[in-house]
Amino acid sequence: MFIARTVARAAPVAQLARSYATAPAAQAVKVPLSLHGIEGRYATALYSAAVKKNQLEAVERDLSSVAAALKKDAELKFSLESPMVNKHQKKALVAKSFKGINETTKNFFDVLAENGRLDQTTKVLASFTELMGAHRKEVSVTVISAKELDSSTSKKLQTILSKSNLIEKDAKLIVNNKIDASILGGLVIDFGDKTIDLSVASKINKLNRLLTEAI
């Protein structure tokens, strides 16, 4: 049985995962990514609960629907995040707005409401998305170019990156193309905490520095 109110008053985050638990403590869930902050701890607790109940994909679908609803309805998003709306009103709003979600997801939003953390909903959803990406071993790569890459170039680049020692062999590469005319040409590749700057702008800046030093 889910006891949201007791957990919320006793220890809002620390005991959240335990409030979901249906499996023995020995069956601890291995979380694919360590997240920090309030939103990270809540997202991690939800991930663990969903894994234990074999509802990970169902919870992900629920949260995708919630994210879409918040993006579409600015008033709903404002009401959840506003300190002017009390937690009981927010809980009723969630029940009314997010119908058809499974029990694990519903219980999770009840906890957020009881703990006065529904204002963190958007951040929690983003953190859960990060966890799911790590769960699938997805590596998100942002390729910045002066103009949009054609499909052939994009595929070639993805193949090269996939075979490089910068990406784990079993990782699934997700390439996002971002346009920035200021780089003039070439590419800037961002993934994780690494950046490969092959832009024309970077080469010109380097040349300017060399010329300045030579004068």
The pLDDT value given to residue 13: 52
pLDDT in tens for each of the 215 residues of the chain? 333 443 344 345 554 544 544 443 435 788 988 899 999 999 999 999 999 999 999 999 999 999 999 999 999 999 998 989 998 899 899 889 998 899 999 999 999 988 999 999 999 999 999 999 889 888 888 899 999 988 888 888 888 888 877 777 777 888 889 999 999 999 999 877 788 888 988 888 887 887 787 76
The pLDDT value given to residue 32: 85
CATH number for 4-134: choose from 1.10.520.20, 3.40.190.10, 3.30.1240.10, 3.40.630.30: 1.10.520.20
Quick one: DSSP state of residue 118?
A: G
Q: Where are the domains of the chain?
A: 4-134, 137-214
| β-strand partners of 191 | 194
Crossing angle for the helix pair 103-114 and 37-52, nearest 10 degrees? 150
The pLDDT value given to residue 5: 41
Q: Any alpha helices (H) in 14-143, and if so which ranges?
A: 16-20, 37-52, 56-72, 74-81, 87-97, 103-114, 121-135
From first CA to last CA, the distance across the chain in angstroms is 76
Residue of 201, 96, 94 lying closest to 146 (CA atoms): 201
* CB atoms inside a 10 Å sphere around CB 173: 17
The distance from CA 109 to its chain's CA centroid, rounded to whole angstroms, is 17
Residue 186 DSSP SS3:
strand
The pLDDT value given to residue 3: 37
The pLDDT value given to residue 215: 66
Tokens of 71: 């993006």
CA distance 158 to 162: 6
Q: What pTM was computed for the model?
A: 0.68
